[in-house]
Amino acid sequence: MPTTNDRLLLIKNGRVIDPATKTDATNDVLLDGVRTAKIGTGLSAPDAEIFDASGMIVAPGFIDLHCHLREPGQEMSETIETGARSAARGGFTAVCCMPNTQPVNDNASVTRSIVERAAAADTVQVWPIGAASVGSKGEALAEIAAMKDAGIVAVSDDGKSVATARLMRQVMDYCNSLDLPVIDHCEDPSLFAGGVMREGPRSVRLGLKGIPAQSESICAGRDVELAVLTRARLHIAHLSTTGALEYVRHAKKLGVRVTCEVAPHHFTLCDEDVRYDTNYKMNPPLASRADRTALIAGIADGAVDAIATDHAPHHPASKDVEFDRAPFGIIGFETALALTLSELFHTGKISITRLVELFTTGPARVLGSERKIAVGSPADLTIFSTDLAWTYRASESPSKSRNTPFDGRAFRGAPVATIVGGRIVYRRELGATA
């Protein structure tokens, strides 16, 4: 590949953490515009721009396996450009966008348009996920091979489960032959039945229609069984229940290729936090306290492969309605790392290396690729502080939407710089507190 950007960037004195190479050392990293050129101590490059990373962590570029960029079709809520800028502020160098746009990304021309728009936005990498079925309607297979040629990295009917076990089996067989992972939104529609939050004491108290945890776990069980049958790569999206996690553990014990992700709001909040505030309405819904504890245990012990945001922007007017009429979902790029640091790292539940793994090598493995800091590897890096004190203000986000329950929350730790292709696409203004 020709070098299109020969500007040099030298990152000095950062604590380089790379789970892939088992590195944890203070080093300098020199990027030549596209690739990592040198790693070592006391590096110098007279023409290079210098980034002082003293006291900061230098990690491989973060990957978000799960987001909604709403383009094409719902540009009131987000565009690829605004979503990509928000992702960069969250420290992500690559994001995978779900196909439930309008039209659905179920054919190569939609895929190509997303790739083109992402190239024009020129911020973070955007890797599209294609629909499993035409229109995600659960009837006929989408043009998966053609979409793969156009750039999809996985398939999913996210927003709902693939409608029948029979179709899911076909999707998995076919995707296996194309070496694509199938990303699974687990939900039994007959149990979901118009629910708006997790079924339990809180839903009964608020008089809100509950969704039993088994809506997710029954579908996870079905699809783990199909992974055993087909030997395909199955990835459970936004896993939120103990039952579904147990199916993933079971599959991993069998050596079946099943992975899963957990969203930051699911390990931070639980159903007891739900109020008549639509920023607490997401799907899967906030789980029980016991489920949250189980998810954190799974993140710590390796059963969970990745943290993914499920960034789901909704235009303010669409969320400023009665709870049961609001759409599901919250934005999440800019709070994901800070929530993980606050809830899991500073509380001693996971190490800093495990944290980096959950945002880098973990999601890369799900996609069948790798993520590392080595000479010759792509110049995509995430630099963050574990201790920077700051307060999240949704109003300052480049996202077009403001639907988050974390507005105004004080955090310890934040992304400081996001580097894509050797270029700093986001850099935090550091005040005196840094």
Partner 1 sequence: MLQRLEHLLGIEDLTREQISFILDQAKPFQEFQRHPLKKLATLRGKTVAIAFFENSTRTRISFSTAAARLGADTMNLQAEASSLKKGESLLDTVRTLEAMRPDGLVIRHSSSGAPEFVADRLGVPVINAGDGTHEHPTQALLDALTIRDRKGHLEGWNLTILGDVLHSRVARSNVHLLSKFGVRITLCGPAMWVPRELETLAPNVRRVTRVEEALDGADVIIALRVQTERLHEPALAAEEYILRYQLTPQRLQLARPGALVLHPGPMIRGLEIDGAVADGPQSCVLEQVANGLAIRMALLYHLVGGAAVEPPPAKPPEKAQ
Of 280 and 392, the one with the shorter C-beta distance to partner 1 is: 280
Task: Say whether residue 409 binds partner 1 (CB under 8 A).
Answer: no
Span of 19-27, 172-180, 192-200, 373-381 interacting with partner 1 by CB under 8 A:
192-200
Task: Say whether residue 139 binds partner 1 (CB under 8 A).
Answer: no
Of 173 and 273, the one with the shorter C-beta distance to partner 1 is: 273
Of 91 and 200, the one with the shorter C-beta distance to partner 1 is: 200
Q: CA 305 to CA 360: how far, in whole Å?
A: 10
**Is there a contact between 203 and 276 (Cβ–Cβ < 8 Å)?**
no
Span of 133-141, 321-329, 397-405, 420-428 interacting with partner 1 by CB under 8 A:
321-329
- Single out the residue of 130, 159, 200, 421 in contact with partner 1 (rule: CB under 8 A): 200
Write the CB contacts of 271 (distance below 8 Å, at least 6 apart in sequence).
197, 198, 200, 202, 203, 285, 286, 287, 288, 289
Of 317 and 432, the one with the shorter C-beta distance to partner 1 is: 317
Compute the least distance from the CB of residue 273 to partner 1, in Å: 15
Compute the least distance from the CB of residue 409 to partner 1, in Å: 20
Compute the least distance from the CB of residue 278 to partner 1, in Å: 9
Task: Say whether residue 205 binds partner 1 (CB under 8 A).
Answer: yes
Task: Say whether residue 323 binds partner 1 (CB under 8 A).
Answer: yes
Instruction: State the residue for tokens 């010759």.
Output: 376
* 191 secondary structure, DSSP code: H
Compute the least distance from the CB of residue 317 to partner 1, in Å: 7
Task: Say whether residue 194 binds partner 1 (CB under 8 A).
Answer: yes
Of the residues 158, 305, 310, 380, only one is catalytic, namely 310
Task: Say whether residue 76 binds partner 1 (CB under 8 A).
Answer: no
- Single out the residue of 204, 375, 389, 430 in contact with partner 1 (rule: CB under 8 A): 204
Q: CA 256 to CA 224: how far, in whole Å?
A: 8
Write the CB contacts of 22 (distance below 8 Å, at least 6 apart in sequence).
none
Handedness of CA 107, 110, 116, 117 (dihedral sign): negative
Residue 97: CB atoms within 10 Å: 29
**Is there a contact between 404 and 395 (Cβ–Cβ < 8 Å)?**
no
- Single out the residue of 322, 396, 432, 433 in contact with partner 1 (rule: CB under 8 A): 322
- Single out the residue of 325, 387, 389, 393 in contact with partner 1 (rule: CB under 8 A): 325
Active site residue 28: no
Span of 88-96, 239-247, 252-260, 313-321 interacting with partner 1 by CB under 8 A:
313-321
**Is there a contact between 379 and 79 (Cβ–Cβ < 8 Å)?**
no
Name residue 97's amino acid: C
Task: Say whether residue 207 binds partner 1 (CB under 8 A).
Answer: yes
Task: Say whether residue 321 binds partner 1 (CB under 8 A).
Answer: yes
Name residue 129's amino acid: I
Compute the least distance from the CB of residue 205 to partner 1, in Å: 6
Of 24 and 324, the one with the shorter C-beta distance to partner 1 is: 324
Strand order in the sheet with 306-307: 62-67, 92-97, 125-130, 154-156, 182-184, 234-236, 258-262, 306-307
Instruction: Classify 310 in phi/psi space as left (phi over 0), alpha (psi -120 to 50) or beta.
Output: left
Task: Say whether residue 116 binds partner 1 (CB under 8 A).
Answer: no
Compute the least distance from the CB of residue 297 to partner 1, in Å: 25
Q: In the Cβ-directed half-sphere of 144, how many Cα atoms lie within 13 Å?
A: 25
- Single out the residue of 208, 219, 270, 344 in contact with partner 1 (rule: CB under 8 A): 208
The count of chain residues that interact with partner 1, using the rule CB under 8 A, is: 19
End-to-end CA distance of the chain: 38
Task: Say whether residue 201 binds partner 1 (CB under 8 A).
Answer: yes
Q: Which residues of 211-250 are buried (b: 16+ CB within 10 A; e: fewer)?
A: bbbbbbbbbbbbbbbbbbebebbbbbbbbbbbbbbbbbbe
- Single out the residue of 116, 179, 301, 320 in contact with partner 1 (rule: CB under 8 A): 320
List contacts with partner 1 (CB under 8 A): 193-194, 200-201, 203-209, 276, 317, 320-325
For the annotated catalytic residues, the residue numbers are 310
